[in-house]
Amino acid sequence: MKDMDMQHMAHHDSNDMGDMDMGNGEMMHMGNLKLKFWVALVLTIPIIIMSPMMGVNLPFQIVFRPWSDYIVAILGTILFLYGGQPFFSGAKAEVKNHKPAMMTLITMGISVAYVYSIYAVVANGLLNAKPMVTDFFWELATLIVIMLLGHWIEMNTVMNAGSAVDKLAKLLPSTAHKLVDGQVHDVAIADLANGDQVQVRAGEQIPADGTVLNGATSVNEAMVTGEAKLVEKRAKDQVVGGSVNGDGTFEMKVTGTGESGYLAQVMKLVSDAQAAKSSQENMADKVAGLLFYAALTVAIVAFIVWLLVGNLALALSIAVTVLVIACPHALGLAIPLVVARSTAIAASHGLLIRNRDAMEQVKKLNYALMDKTGTLTAGNFKVADYQSSAYRLTADAVLAMMAGLENGSSHPLAVGILAAAKEHQLTPKVSQDVHQITGVGLSGTIDGQTYQIVSAAYLDKQNLAYDQQTFNRLASAGNSVSFLIQEQTVLGFVAQGDQIKPEAKNLIDSLKAQNITPVMLTGDNPQSAQVVAKQLGITEVHAGLLPEDKAKLVQQYQADGSHVMMIGDGVNDAPSLARADIGVAIGSGTDVAIDSADIVLVKSNPNDVVDFLALARRTTRKMAQNLWWGAGYNVITIPLAAGILAPLGFILNPMFGAVVMSLSTVIVAINAMTLRLKD
């Protein structure tokens, strides 16, 4: 077993509340930030009591003169160095990466305020010079405290928004009933290894992925897959760690633990999605960088202008206010909070978002290309007919040979052939060296002879003769027809029918309602594809395709600038899933981690595509709202801070600027947390 305890994979102890990115990779422990806030608040109280509040001398400041200025300077220095440390670290990282943004702005603002305040104290006390103003320690202290408080609030919000991973980790129990020589031993799940036998009792959570050895039960997989109904489990059935056992007791063989388990894969998908950068988030970073240079320019110009028309104290105060008000705190938080919240909602509804950029592509979608079998149809094939095309073989012999080649395969067509052989009491022929031929079928040997199972498209491509009249009749009825060949000779065929998923019609109707054109891509025969397409209302159909053909069609649809979503099972559709603007893989169980897809639908329910589109549109709308708020308040307040309304007697002071900035941060956080899948 890999060295991983699933219970602690994402869970944080109550005394270890987490870390926060303080700027381009600089991490700040939340417990330390909380301590810094309280220490800064304690230091701020005497500073406020003994220093002028926006130029007005308070009673305590007068009583403690002349020592009050020096006491405030000492406390202010401690506060500046201790409370400002997170911002200094963040600014250093930003400058090092040549990306000055929020932390650099805060550092510049508090540094200017501190340096001037020290100068004012020295000039007033030691040099006996008439100070331009008393000092900025009151503004400096309140700014640092508000900034630290804002970060603390943000960290709590971010951690709450990203708690889906924690919840997934908690789905597993802490112990398992391991069977050793027929005896039950309770062990920690971290000590389980693949191959171990475990007993699962009634009402317990299943401790790991596995295969049922004996016993029968019903399993509630809702907490894992989102599927609310109970799933019957018997010998050889797969079970998923974290799901809840019903009334029965069964024994299982562990097949997935640690990083190989289903929940570990889910948590990795969620974590990767939350850690990745989306294109809109990069745009937010660019906006923050532009604000830095804009604020610096405005501050310098305002400083020069007010120095000429006023004095140094006034000019410096206005420059500091500009720098404080321009801090893009809310802007930097605008996108990550929304995406974290969206990812958490998606995970809880069986939507695993592997690539966050995909959500931003939804508003541009023109086409939804989709596979037929397993996506629009249930993949539960039943043999409708089977015949021999060779005089030396009976129809039963053809079915037995095909069952022998398909024996052990879990492909829907293989399952149907094996079921038909069992129904007709035929023993599958013993086969060897069976292997898949991508886009063709499979090949294997029986009694030393090589045989292949292929599609009609392969026969046409190889110019091999077969009964096309019979094929057309069966295919037109909606059957998938597989042919058995040997040395380029068709020996017989099996025709199987599939059932359309009940949810598929709603998917097609919803796509059309959103002006997204549904297109069927399938490796099946054209006649069978048209039967399904007609029932669902799909007018564009491409059948008889190889995997590379599907990928080429995706490119063709994209060639004119259209944006394409591909929906498939993630196996033969992998090239097209990777090529599409949005790749949606339909899969369940431990096969959910499909590398080629952007989105994975755990429940294999076509309706989940509709939920994904709705969530994506709501997510991008929230992103836009937060970006407008995060950047918009800067556009309004920076000119006010520079003194544009000074002729009317209004100049924005630093403390008020810090309050406005922090309020905008809270608004952005609240707006992100109001995101829902549905109204």
Residues serving a catalytic function are: 371
Q: Tokens representing 300?
A: 């310098």
DSSP state of 499: -
* Cα Rg of the chain, angstroms: 33
Contact present, 346 and 352 (Cβ < 8 Å)? yes
Query: Which residue in 368, 333, 344 sits closest to 518, CA to CA?
Result: 368
SS3 state of residue 23: coil
Sequence-distant (≥ 6) Cβ neighbours of residue 232 within 8 angstroms: 216, 217, 218
Contact present, 37 and 295 (Cβ < 8 Å)? no
Name the residue type at position 291. Answer: L
Tally of CB atoms within 10 A around 584: 28
Distance between CA atoms of 507 and 528, rounded to whole angstroms?
Answer: 20
Return phi, psi of residue 103, to 5°. Answer: -60, -35
Q: Is 355 left (phi over 0), alpha (psi -120 to 50) or beta?
A: beta
Dmax over Cα atoms in the chain, in whole Å?
118
Q: Which residue has the tokens 């919840």?
A: 167
Q: Tokens representing 435?
A: 């292997």
Contact present, 225 and 206 (Cβ < 8 Å)? no
Q: Which residue has the tokens 């959570």?
A: 205
* Strand pairing class (217-220; 230-233): antiparallel
Contact present, 143 and 324 (Cβ < 8 Å)? yes
Alpha helix locations (H) across 310-441?
312-325, 329-348, 357-361, 395-406, 412-423
Contact present, 519 and 542 (Cβ < 8 Å)? yes
Return phi, psi of residue 139, to 5°. Answer: -65, -40
Strand order in the sheet with 209-214: 183-188, 175-180, 197-200, 250-256, 209-214, 238-239
Contact present, 610 and 510 (Cβ < 8 Å)? yes
What DSSP assignment string belongs to 197-238? EEEE-TTPBP-SEEEEEE--EEEE-HHHH---SEEEE-TT-E
Contact present, 320 and 654 (Cβ < 8 Å)? yes
Distance between CA atoms of 227 and 236, rounded to whole angstroms?
Answer: 21
Angle between helices 312-325 and 102-125 (to 10 degrees): 160
DSSP state of 40: H
Name the residue type at position 267. Answer: M
Spell 642-667 as b/e; 16+ CB within 10 A means b: bbeebeeeebbbbbbbbebbbebbeb
